[in-house]
Amino acid sequence: MSLRKENKEADQSTANVFVTALAALSDKARRLVIMELLEDKSLREEVEAALLWEARKDEPRRPFREYLAENKANRH
């Protein structure tokens, strides 16, 4: 097994432990943990990015150059 795959699996295992622990908390404790996460700017930004990605993952994709050209045309 490659080192990259081992690291990915280790990261997934760690994530599973944290999610399992979070799910086992009382509603009040779970809300407190989530509020702590959101108070940290970098963690909040990661949560926001993950939520945005999840919300938009099924949207059609288009080439980045096309997007840039469209925005350039709209600015003038």
pLDDT one-digit tens code per residue, 10-55: 999 999 999 999 999 999 999 999 999 999 999 999 999 999 999 9
Global pTM reads 0.61
pLDDT given for residue 64 in this prediction: 93
Q: Which residue bears the tokens 């990661």?
A: 46
Q: Could you say which DSSP state residue 40 is in? A: S
pLDDT given for residue 76 in this prediction: 61
The answer to whether residue 2 scores a pLDDT higher than 80 is: no
pLDDT (average), residues 48-66:
94
Cβ atoms of 61 and 67 within 8 Å: the answer is no
Q: CA-based diameter of the chain, in Å?
A: 54
